[in-house]
Structure 1
Amino acid sequence: MDDIWTLGVNAEDEFAWHQHALCAQTDPEAFFPEKGGSTREAKRVCSSCTVRAECLEYALANDERFGIWGGLSERERRKLKRQAI
């Protein structure tokens, strides 16, 4: 059985910021819109979230391919990664 220490990282601690995230109190569908759907509501929530940086860092580190994370869409995160290279 795998446990949270398998890779030497406590997965619970890695995701602990999520309990403070405003998205945890919001309809998750806003953060995963249908293709071509609006991301405005999700980005508005993210703009005032105290753990936005941690969320974006998590998404970048884990190559999240869907949804709004840290106020950015998947396309915006790809662009950010390319600019960092």
Structure 2
Amino acid sequence: MSRYDWMDQALCAQTDPEIFFDGRYNFAEKLCTACPVRQACEAQADLCERGLDQKYRHGLWAGKTPRGRAGTDTAGFYDARDDHIRQLGAAGWDAIAIAEETNCSTRTVWRVLADQRDSFSEAA
């Protein structure tokens, strides 16, 4: 299973992609509102656009315009994802399974788990 499998269920994959980039977005926003994978889409947009200024963001993702996404606080998303990674690691999951479950890379999993390991050694 790929971390991009959710894209097959996206309503935008079943329509003309131009409506998500024409700047008017009316029909596209309606599609996004009804989309069953909107959360995964928003997470992917956050991942792809992390640290980018608004002028470098394009198109409608998860029903949000470039301006709307530029103002989104992604810190909460990453904190929750990292907590989930730590929980799965503590439960004995391997890095590949954790990466697939949390829609991130194994490198991210190792970084988060290394941070946890470091915090334990500092407490000792």
Bin for the TM-score computed over the shorter chain: 0.7 to 0.9
Structure of greater Rg:
2
With over 3 angstroms needed to count, the CA separation of the structure-2 counterparts of 1:83 and 1:48, relative to structure 1, is same
d(CA) in 2 for partners of 1:38 and 1:68?
10
Which residue in the other structure is 1:45 paired with? 31
Partner deviation per Cα, 1:29-60 (whole Å, 9 max, x = no partner): 10011xxx311111100000000010011001
Aligned-residue sequence identity (percent) comes to 37
Q: Pick one of 25, 50, 73 that aligns with 1:81.
A: 73
Structure 1: 5+ residue stretches without partners: 1-11
Name whichever of 52-61 and 74-83 sits farther off.
Answer: 74-83
Q: SS of 2:12's equivalent?
A: helix
- Cα RMSD (Å): 2.0
d(CA) in 1 for partners of 2:30 and 2:75?
24
Q: Pick one of 14, 17, 22 that aligns with 1:25.
A: 14
Deviation at 1:14, TM superposition (A): 2.2
Which residue in the other structure is 1:57 paired with? 43
Structure with bigger helix share is 2
Structure 2: 5+ residue stretches without partners: 51-56, 77-124
Q: Of the two structures, which has the highest relative contact order with CA contacts closer than 8 Å and spacing of 6 or more?
A: 1
d(CA) in 1 for partners of 2:21 and 2:35?
17
d(CA) in 2 for partners of 1:13 and 1:23?
19
d(CA) in 1 for partners of 2:74 and 2:44?
17
Deviation at 1:83, TM superposition (A): 8.7
Stretches of 4+ aligned residues off by more than 3 angstroms: none
TM-score, reference length from structure 1 = 0.73
Amino acid across the alignment from 2:13: A
